[in-house]
Amino acid sequence: MPRAYGPRHVTERVIGPGASLPYDARMSLPSTVPDMFRLDGKVAIVTGASSGLGVAFAQGLAEAGADVVLGARRVDRLADTAKLVEAAGRKALCVATDVAKPEDCTSLVALAMEEFGHVDVLVNNAGIGTAVPATRESVEQFTNVIDVNLNGCYWMAQACGRVMGEGSSIINISSVLGITTAGLPQAAYAASKAGLNGLTRDLAQQWTGRKGIRVNSIAPGFFASEMTEQYPPGYLESQQGRIPAGRKGDPRELAAAVVFLASPAGGYVTGQTLAVDGGMTIT
């Protein structure tokens, strides 16, 4: 069981309005473009790391050089993800976390700080989805999705924003369903992801100039995950014509986008929602 930590372990670094940051990304950029994608010496947190895309994100960040803190409700399944991180030569820390509970988010960040001394990257990946007609969706079904997909991302970002230093990066995993629709009745999921895109913009304008923390979101199209396994038979095939690339995405392609936004290569990108969708949102 993870140990409990009080609020004293999480302190916020404040820079007053109009003050100059003691940080200049141009002065700290690696000398070559490939090196700009490296995350050596960085510590990344990945929520929802027990399966699917969360596993790909954790492995990709480790391969780029980061130690990775793995959070999920199903902590027993994090051991397999940890093995992938360690196989890449990096350290892994597994923490039972329900992001819908603010105290779990605070505890996860406190444990990361105690183990590694700093947090540089947050990948807000934990999420759930439903497909229920709007006239039949219950209050509990709707609020459960919002609590995890939107509120949980905010509690995690808030906890990390209190301890992150200049040059850090927060990446919210949104969805193309926050931008468009895709034939299923997914009001709660679509609302949560559209809200996450708005949250991304606001946190970027609050923190990029004042704290040096970049905040972006990624809107994946169709990638193999636990969520896509729950779709009705034939659904993915019915959507294939909307994808100019003509295929589902490979999770490694999405992990590469995460590494880009987490690394110095993405140092001039903030407040954006990057669609990684094979062109689905342009059709």
Active site residues: 189
Answer for the pair 45, 109: CB distance below 8 angstroms, yes or no. yes
Amino acid sitting at position 174: S
Question: Among 84, 92, 35, which residue's Cα sits nearest to residue 63?
Answer: 84
What is the end-to-end Cα distance of the chain in Å, rounded?
Answer: 48
Q: Quick one: angle between helices 52-63 and 78-87, nearest 10? A: 20
Beta bridge partners of 43: 67
Q: Cβ contacts of residue 186 below 8 Å, gap of 6+? A: 129, 130, 131, 177
Q: Quick one: angle between helices 152-161 and 102-116, nearest 10? A: 40
Residue 248, both tokens: 């589902």
Residue 108 CB coordination number (10 Å): 29
CA distances from 145 to 93, 115, 189 (A): 26, 31, 6
C-alpha 218/C-alpha 228 separation (Å) is 17
Checking phi first, is residue 224 left (phi over 0); if not, alpha (psi -120 to 50) or beta? beta
For the four alpha carbons of 220, 222, 224 and 226, in that order, the dihedral sign comes to: positive
Answer for the pair 170, 124: CB distance below 8 angstroms, yes or no. yes
